[in-house]
């Protein structure tokens, strides 16, 4: 099966070499994860999850806004790349720390007999993210509206702030942690 002629050379000589930075997200997210557990041990998992969900919400919304401005710019689109990279790295930072704090919360929220199973289940479900999230973005990139994906994620993170706040973070919460 031959590649379409337009797909043989996808290089844009004016585009930044983004592939040089692609590994940074996964690197930051995985290396920073233990910080989430450590911070959670010191100041509480719900507190760490809460504030990092705010960071993730703001970063995802920022990415959506940057996508709109970059797409609508008539020139100098590369000027948006530093802001995009910073927001993306902030998003990975938040997910890494939030991952560590969430798993710390599970150990407190659930009984010792259930916590290992919940951690295993959560890990299994989370592993689908490596498959589903790129597929999700692919749909919106194909539609030439990648900002929609970022705004949907920002909305999801925003709801997570309230769920975490109500059940685990607020004074008088059902299961404070």
CA nearest to 83, candidates 65, 99, 95, 57: 65
8 A C-beta contact, residue 33 and residue 96 = yes
Band (pLDDT 50/70/90 cuts) for residue 4 is very low
- Three-state DSSP state, 4: coil
pLDDT the model gives residue 65: 97
Predicted confidence (pLDDT) per residue in 129-163, tens digit: 888 988 999 999 999 999 999 999 999 999 999 99
33-169 belongs to which CATH class?
mainly alpha
Q: Using CA atoms, how far apart are residues 38 and 104, in angstroms rounded to an integer?
A: 9
Domain ranges of the chain: 33-169
pLDDT digits (tens, 9 = 90+) for 100-138: 999 999 999 999 999 999 999 999 988 888 889 889 999
Contact indicator for 86, 105 with CB cutoff of 8 Å: no
Model confidence over 27-66: pLDDT tens digits? 999 999 999 999 999 999 999 999 999 999 999 999 999 9
What predicted TM-score, i.e. pTM, was given to this entire model? 0.85
Q: Are 64 and 151 in contact (CB under 8 A)?
A: yes
Residue 145's alpha-carbon distances to 76, 101, 165, in angstroms, are 19, 32, 31
């Amino acid at each position: 099966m031959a590649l379409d002629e337009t797909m043989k050379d996808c290089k844009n000589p004016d585009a930044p070499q983004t592939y040089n930075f692609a590994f940074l997200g996964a690197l930051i997210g995985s290396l920073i994860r233990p910080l989430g557990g450590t911070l959670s041990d010191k100041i509480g998992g719900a507190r760490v999850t809460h504030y990092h969900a705010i960071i993730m919400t703001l970063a995802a919304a920022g990415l959506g806004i940057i996508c709109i401005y970059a797409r609508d710019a008539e020139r100098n689109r590369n000027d948006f790349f530093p802001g995009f990279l910073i927001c993306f790295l902030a998003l990975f930072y938040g997910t890494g720390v939030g991952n560590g704090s969430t798993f710390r919360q599970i150990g407190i929220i659930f009984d010792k007999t259930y916590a290992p199973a919940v951690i295993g289940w959560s890990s299994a479900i989370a592993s689908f993210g490596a498959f589903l999230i790129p597929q999700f973005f692919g749909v919106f990139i194909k539609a030439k509206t990648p900002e929609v994906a970022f705004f949907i994620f920002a909305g999801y993170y925003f709801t997570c702030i309230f769920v975490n706040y109500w059940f685990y973070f607020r004074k008088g919460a059902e299961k404070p942690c």
